[in-house]
């Protein structure tokens, strides 16, 4: 009798253990844990190997603490249907939403929280190895390694606000307070197409605040009769806080900063033509540069642009209509970019834009490579790209299997 030997190839690529796999169309079917996208030749792997829906953080929120990535998991729910409501971690109608971590070396998944009430917040303290989140009016922290959970702060009755960011030396949380009238508009109009103009036109007061995580001192640092949103601390400068004037992008000068010590407020980009839009802003890894999606005018000419926080000097890189992405981000070494593409219903009205993209600056333009074919993904769930800490993988979320999971695609073949 002959002996048949089957050899399974398994090897370490960058940070993730990956086994050799066949080429397959991505999505539209149950996928294995690893495969090669037949349209691009790139290896794709599933990072969140647990039953249920799994959602990575918003594109400008850092999910990493060392080799661990934090994400939200819920019970299983079909997320690839025709419902037009934009899906984010805070509004997926699934039960038992908890925080989890995945070790990027061995893909071990661990549950971090066991909260009986719904939570919100995507805030990591990588040095302290904590994740911060909020349940109603209470702020909590959970240690990513020990799972120890502490109550950090309870907002007073007259200032029910929400945390959204942590500064670079991990001493202050920040966020925005909104009026009861504004909260009621959100409650009655849960769809973005319903509330977006209503909140903008209401011009209710909003207040930016900081919260000292040790002393519990709450400071109200800026109030305006505008929709203050997307509050983000610089990744390296603990006193620089970015925020936006939310609303229809062609009606607002959107991107601003405030120095939390001096209270100096600065506009980062002034619109220069009718229907110009700038948005989906994020701090680059250096913490000194704000990057953003720039269209001059809207839906016609597309750029990824940057402004130096200190000098105000701007630069921009052009890209084609089909290459436009809902969100962009840059690598840890700031040499390349990624984008999550978009379908024909997005602002660019792309005919063939449903891809995860890699971009390389060449002169004043971006040269693109397609990494993952997203034709089976429903873009009401925005993929929200992140580079892995070593810069060798692009991490994104997708519903191309009918539910939501978090995946990684290799940057280099």
For the chain, how many helices (H) and strands (E)?
A: 2, 33
Q: What pLDDT, on the 0 to 100 scale, is given for residue 86?
A: 78
> Could you identify the residue written with the tokens 């011009």?
203
- When pLDDT is averaged across residues 395-400 and rounded to a whole number, the result is 97
Two tokens, residue 215: 């002393």
**Does residue 63 contact residue 124 with C-beta atoms inside 8 Å?**
yes
**Distance separating alpha carbons of residues 131 and 227, to the nearest angstrom:** 26
Of the candidates 159, 163, 160, the one whose C-alpha atom is nearest the C-alpha of residue 140 is 163
More confident residue, 93 or 404: 404
What are the tens digits of pLDDT across the range 335-375? 999 999 999 999 999 999 999 999 999 999 999 999 999 99
pLDDT value at 324 more than 60: yes
Task: Render the burial of 151-178: b for 16+ CB within 10 Å, e for the rest.
Answer: ebbebeeeeebbbbbbbbebebbbbbbb
To the nearest whole number, what is the mean pLDDT of the chain?
92
**Distance separating alpha carbons of residues 186 and 166, to the nearest angstrom:** 25
What value, to the nearest 5°, has the Cα angle with vertex 393 and ends 317 and 406?
105
Q: What pLDDT, on the 0 to 100 scale, is given for residue 341?
A: 98
What are the tens digits of pLDDT across the range 215-267? 999 999 999 999 999 999 999 999 999 999 999 999 999 999 999 999 999 99
Q: What pLDDT, on the 0 to 100 scale, is given for residue 26?
A: 98
Confidence of residue 208 (pLDDT cuts 50, 70, 90): very high
Least confident of 50-59, 94-103, 116-125, 184-193: 184-193
Two tokens, residue 371: 């990494």
């Amino acid at each position: 009798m002959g002996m048949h030997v089957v050899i399974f190839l398994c090897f370490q690529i960058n940070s993730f253990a990956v086994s050799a796999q066949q080429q397959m169309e991505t999505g539209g079917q149950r996928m294995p844990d690893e495969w090669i996208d037949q349209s691009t030749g790139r290896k794709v792997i599933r990072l969140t190997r647990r039953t249920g829906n799994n959602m990575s953080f918003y594109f400008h929120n850092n999910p990493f603490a060392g080799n661990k990535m934090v994400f939200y998991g819920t019970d299983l729910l079909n997320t690839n249907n025709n419902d037009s409501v934009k899906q984010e971690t805070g509004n997926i109608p699934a039960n038992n939403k908890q925080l989890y971590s995945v070790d990027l070396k061995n893909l071990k998944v661990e549950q971090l929280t066991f909260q009986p009430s719904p939570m919100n917040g995507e805030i990591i303290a990588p040095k302290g190895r904590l994740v911060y989140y909020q349940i109603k009016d209470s702020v909590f922290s959970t240690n990513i390694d020990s799972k120890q959970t502490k109550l950090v702060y309870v907002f007073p009755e007259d200032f029910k606000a929400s945390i959204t960011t942590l500064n670079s030396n991990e001493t202050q949380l920040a966020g925005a307070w909104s009026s009861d009238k504004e909260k009621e508009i959100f409650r009655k109009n849960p769809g973005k197409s319903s509330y977006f103009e209503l909140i903008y036109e209401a011009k209710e007061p909003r207040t930016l605040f900081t919260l000292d995580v040790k002393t519990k001192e709450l400071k109200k640092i800026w109030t305006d009769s505008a929709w203050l949103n997307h509050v983000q601390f610089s990744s390296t400068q603990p006193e620089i806080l970015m925020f936006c004037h939310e609303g229809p992008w062609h009606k607002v000068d959107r991107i601003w900063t405030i120095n939390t010590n001096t209270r100096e407020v600065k506009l980062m980009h002034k619109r220069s033509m009718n229907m110009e839009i700038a948005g989906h802003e994020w701090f680059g890894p250096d913490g000194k540069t704000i990057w953003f999606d720039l269209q001059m005018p809207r839906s016609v000419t597309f750029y990824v642009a940057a402004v130096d926080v200190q000098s105000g000097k701007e630069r921009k890189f052009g890209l084609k209509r089909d290459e436009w992405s809902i969100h962009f981000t840059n690598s840890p070494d700031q040499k390349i970019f990624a984008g999550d593409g978009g379908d024909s219903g997005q602002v660019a009205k792309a005919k063939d834009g449903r891809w995860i993209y890699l971009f390389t600056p060449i002169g004043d333009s971006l040269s693109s490579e397609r990494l993952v074919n997203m034709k089976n993904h429903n873009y009401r769930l925005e993929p929200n790209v992140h580079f892995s800490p070593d810069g060798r993988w692009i991490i994104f979320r997708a519903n191309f299997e009918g539910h939501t999971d978090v995946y990684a695609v290799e940057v280099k073949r």
